[in-house]
């Protein structure tokens, strides 16, 4: 929602990036302290915070995950919990048609036998900033030649909606081809409803919203479908605009640089007795508590911005 305000969105993104970076470093440290990979809460947190921090362009996260990606390219097995972030960061930092990273990830999606790796590769495809790559991928759906399996279409649409580039590609696909989708794609009507519903909670800029209005108001759109799309538009997009008008200024004041309303600092690291196991329960509990505090603040802010 805050993408409607260039300065406000930049401030919110920087604020949340700092929080995510702190949490990532703490969880990354906990992962390194593990004697095995059996502590699922730590691994789940590692996956979540690495994906989140890297998408917010946190330097520490990007350096760490790119190192994992290079190791994976060299044939080394890397933890499944870091693949989402590693693959996405590699695509975002490269990922153009000339680079070859995007095509490599598409090949992985088609060939891997591991479900989790397949999903990581699918999500990573949306991380490119090359809108033409995504447009071409989506248009292949119209000819039933898309390399993405049909049962993964919804996951692809959700992944695309999490970036501004993906929103652009997905919105243009729907606006330019809605008749072909309805008439030529299996369950085309449902696909139109699904994509429009997904986008309605993500579009923020005037250009994006205008396109969504054009789709719902198209004269060639069947009345039944048009009525449903208009209902989605009024129920989601217009409500988000009202929210922005009511709260965006207050949010900017809270998180602007130099504000003392919310602190992103964490309790000072405790000096630990070297004779004690650094993975002791009290230490881990302290780290979990700190991460939880940051997550609580971050989740509140997360409602105010697009995932991008």
pLDDT of residue 238: 80
Query: 200: domain range?
Result: 2-257+294-305
Distance CA 294, CA 288 (A): 10
State pLDDT tens for residues 233-287. Answer: 888 888 777 766 665 666 666 656 555 454 545 444 444 444 444 444 444 444 4
Domain holding 251: CATH number? 1.25.50.20
pLDDT-derived band of residue 204, with 50, 70 and 90 as boundaries? Answer: confident
Mean pLDDT of 66-94: 92
Task: Compute CA distances 124 → 64, 73, 91, 104, 162, whole Å.
Answer: 17, 15, 7, 11, 11
pLDDT at residue 289 in the model: 47
pLDDT at 4 > cutoff 70: no
pLDDT in tens, 287-296: 444 444 445 4
Top mean pLDDT of 23-37, 174-188, 268-282, 289-303 is at 174-188
Is there a contact between 301 and 255 (Cβ–Cβ < 8 Å)?
yes
Q: Is residue 168 part of a domain?
A: yes
| Residue 204 domain-assigned (yes or no) | yes
Residue 47 resides in a domain = yes
Report pLDDT for 237.
Answer: 82
Please indicate, yes or no, if residue 287 is contained in any of the structural domains.
Answer: no
Is residue 264 assigned to a domain? no
| In a domain? residue 241 | yes
pLDDT at 137 over 60: yes
Q: How many domains does the chain fold into?
A: 1
Output the pTM of the full model.
0.75
pLDDT-derived band at 32 (thresholds 50, 70, 90) equals low
Domain for residue 70, yes or no?
Answer: yes
Predicted confidence at residue 205, as pLDDT, reads 84
Query: What pLDDT score does 18 carry?
Result: 73
**Confidence band of 77 (pLDDT split at 50, 70, 90):** very high
pLDDT exceeds cutoff 90 at 74? yes
Which residue would you say has higher pLDDT here, 235 or 117?
A: 117
Residue 213 pLDDT: 92
Residue 81 lies in a domain: yes
Q: What is the pLDDT of residue 90?
A: 95
Q: What is the mean pLDDT of the chain?
A: 78
User: Does the pLDDT value for residue 223 go beyond 80?
Assistant: yes
Give Cβ neighbours of residue 31 (< 8 Å, ≥ 6 apart): 42, 43, 46, 79
Give the Cα separation of 179 and 34 in Å (integer): 54
- Structure confidence at residue 298 (pLDDT): 47
């Amino acid at each position: 929602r805050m993408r409607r305000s260039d300065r406000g969105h930049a401030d919110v993104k920087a604020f949340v990036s700092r929080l995510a970076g702190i949490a990532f470093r703490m969880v990354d440290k906990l992962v390194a302290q593990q004697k095995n990979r059996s502590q699922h809460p730590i691994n789940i947190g590692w996956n979540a915070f690495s994906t989140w921090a890297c998408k917010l362009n946190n330097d520490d996260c990007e350096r760490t995950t790119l190192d994992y990606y290079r190791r994976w390219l060299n044939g080394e097995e890397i933890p499944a919990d870091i693949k989402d972030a590693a693959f996405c960061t590699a695509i975002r930092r490269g990922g153009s048609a000339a680079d070859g990273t995007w095509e490599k990830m598409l090949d992985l999606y088609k060939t891997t036998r591991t479900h989790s790796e397949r999903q990581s590769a699918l999500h990573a495809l949306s991380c490119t900033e090359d809108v033409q790559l995504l447009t071409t991928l989506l248009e292949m759906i119209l000819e039933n030649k898309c390399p993405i399996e049909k049962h993964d279409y919804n996951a692809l649409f959700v992944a695309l909606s999490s970036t501004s580039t993906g929103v652009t590609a997905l919105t243009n696909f729907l606006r330019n081809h809605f008749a072909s989708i309805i008439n030529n794609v299996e369950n085309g009507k449902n696909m139109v409803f699904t994509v429009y519903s997904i986008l309605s909670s993500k579009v923020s800029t005037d250009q994006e919203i205008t396109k969504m209005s054009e789709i719902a108001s198209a004269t060639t759109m069947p009345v039944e479908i048009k009525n449903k799309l208009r209902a989605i538009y009024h129920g989601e997009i217009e409500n988000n605009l009202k929210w922005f008008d009511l709260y965006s200024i207050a949010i900017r004041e809270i998180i602007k640089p130099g504000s003392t309303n919310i602190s992103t600092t964490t309790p000072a690291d405790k000096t630990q007795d070297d004779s004690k196991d650094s993975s002791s329960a009290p230490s881990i509990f302290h780290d979990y508590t700190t991460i939880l505090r940051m997550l609580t603040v971050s989740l509140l802010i997360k409602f105010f911005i697009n995932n991008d």
